[in-house]
């Protein structure tokens, strides 16, 4: 049974997409079967993975069917594309902004439990394919929306991404409160918090440690990941060019090695933190 994980925070631009994709990438390299499910109409994780395919294969990956169309046809399998061995993508596209309207028309307010039906719809579409994967990682927008609700409804584990700035801590706390509200509201929701992942805004700033300490006070020491994601300019290049890989891309240097080593370590910590059967 796949473990379904959401990387979340209600603040934008804190590294949700970057960390979702890099963890998925390293888990796939370790031999786990992984699906990245891009539930954000911004389609950032889709673009990053499509560019990665292009960089590593010297050819363009053509998306034949958008996820929105597949959802309308009630079969998401034909929309899934393969990025590299063990790593698949359910790609987003700008037409995914129509998903809330689609749900509102499919589950009108006279439908019993229409709010829950809307949130649960995607979970049902995932069911026929989820046993093909060890991990399914959802990328979500920074908003309290049906997109995020859809992912949380389906998920087993939440990683709260905390960039070391006050607004990200505020966003993490708001997200935590929303998680508790959802958990209490719907019996079908049954996720655990895997932890709070610190992402450094700068590598040499005193405020970083203070924010991490404040987060320990709010969430508990055990909740803070041991792996801390450093500020690495190379990650920004990945957004534009795709992820470099030893032996597969012409560019691969010690900056890439550093990124991969760190995310390899984070993937190990995610494996451990999502291993509890209790």
CB of 163 to ligand ATP, least distance (A): 8
Of 9, 17, 52, 155, the residue at the interface with Mg ion (CB under 5 A) is: 17
| Burial of residue 49, with CB atoms counted within 10 A of its CB: 0-12 exposed, 13-18 middle, 19 or more buried | buried
CB of 241 to ligand ATP, least distance (A): 11
Residue carrying structure tokens 């859809």: 150
Coil vs helix vs strand at 33 = coil
Give, in order, the Cα–Cα distances in Å from 254 to each of 133, 229, 258.
31, 17, 6
CB of 139 to Mg ion, least distance (A): 6
Of 229, 266, 267, 270, the residue at the interface with ligand ATP (CB under 6 A) is: 229
> What is the distance, to the nearest Å, from the Cα of residue 31 to the centroid of all Cα atoms in its chain?
19
List the alpha helices (DSSP H) in 88-232.
Answer: 99-106, 114-130, 146-154, 166-185, 206-219
If one asks whether residue 236 binds ligand ATP (CB under 6 A), the answer comes out as yes
Binding mask 148-177 for Mg ion (x = CB under 5 A): ------------------------------
If one asks whether residue 23 binds ligand ATP (CB under 6 A), the answer comes out as no
If one asks whether residue 22 binds ligand ATP (CB under 6 A), the answer comes out as no
Site for Mg ion in 178-237 (CB under 5 A): none
Residues 214 and 208: their CA atoms lie apart, in Å, by 10
Residue carrying structure tokens 């929309």: 79
Binding mask 30-69 for Mg ion (x = CB under 5 A): --------------x-------------------------
Residue 171 corresponds to which tokens in the numbers above? 């966003």
Of 13, 31, 78, 128, the residue at the interface with ligand ATP (CB under 6 A) is: 13
Residue closer to ligand ATP, measured from CB, 134 or 198: 198
If one asks whether residue 12 binds ligand ATP (CB under 6 A), the answer comes out as yes
Residues 22 and 49: their CA atoms lie apart, in Å, by 10
Q: Which of 239, 237, 167, 171 lies closest to 201 in space, CA to CA?
A: 167
Sheet holding 34-38, edge to edge: 81-84, 87-90, 34-38, 135-139, 3-8, 157-163, 192-199
Residues 126 and 1: their CA atoms lie apart, in Å, by 12
For residue 61, the 8-state DSSP code is P
Q: 49 near 40, Cβ under 8 Å?
A: no
Of 11-19, 67-75, 149-157, 266-274: span binding ligand ATP (CB under 6 A): 11-19
CB of 12 to Mg ion, least distance (A): 8
Site for ligand ATP in 144-183 (CB under 6 A): none
If one asks whether residue 199 binds ligand ATP (CB under 6 A), the answer comes out as yes
Residue closer to ligand ATP, measured from CB, 13 or 128: 13
Q: How many residues bind ligand ATP (CB under 6 A)?
A: 19
Residue 239 interacting partner from Mg ion, ligand ATP, none (CB closer than 5 to 8 Å by kind): ligand ATP
Q: List contacts with ligand ATP (CB under 6 A).
A: 12-18, 40, 42, 44, 141-142, 199, 229, 231-232, 235-236, 239
Q: List contacts with Mg ion (CB under 5 A).
A: 16-17, 44
């Amino acid at each position: 049974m796949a473990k379904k994980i959401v990387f979340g925070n209600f603040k934008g631009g804190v590294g949700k997409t970057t960390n979702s994709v890099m963890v998925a990438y390293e888990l796939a390299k370790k031999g786990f079967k992984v699906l990245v499910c891009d539930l954000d109409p911004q389609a950032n994780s889709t673009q990053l993975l499509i560019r990665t395919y292009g960089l590593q294969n010297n050819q363009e990956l053509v998306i034949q069917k958008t996820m929105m169309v597949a959802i309308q046809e009630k079969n998401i399998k034909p929309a899934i594309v393969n990025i590299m061995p063990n790593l698949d993508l359910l790609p987003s596209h700008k037409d995914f902004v129509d998903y809330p309207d689609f749900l509102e028309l499919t589950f009108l307010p006279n439908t019993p439990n229409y709010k829950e039906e809307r949130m649960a719809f995607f979970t049902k579409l995932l069911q026929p394919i989820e046993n093909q994967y060890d991990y399914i990682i959802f990328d979500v927008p920074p908003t309290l929306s049906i997109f995020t609700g859809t992912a949380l409804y389906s998920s087993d584990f939440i990683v709260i991404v905390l960039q070391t700035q006050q607004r990200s801590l505020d966003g993490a706390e708001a997200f935590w409160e929303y998680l508790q509200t959802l958990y209490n509201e719907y019996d079908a929701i049954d996720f655990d918090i895997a932890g709070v992942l610190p992402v450094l805004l700068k590598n040499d700033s005193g405020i970083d440690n203070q924010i991490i300490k404040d987060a320990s006070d709010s969430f508990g020491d055990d909740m803070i990941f041991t792996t801390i994601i450093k500020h690495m300019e190379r990650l920004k290049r990945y957004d534009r060019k795709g992820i470099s890989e030893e032996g597969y891309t012409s560019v691969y240097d010690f900056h890439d090695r550093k990124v991969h080593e760190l995310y390899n370590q984070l993937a190990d910590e995610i494996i451990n933190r999502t291993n509890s059967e209790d």
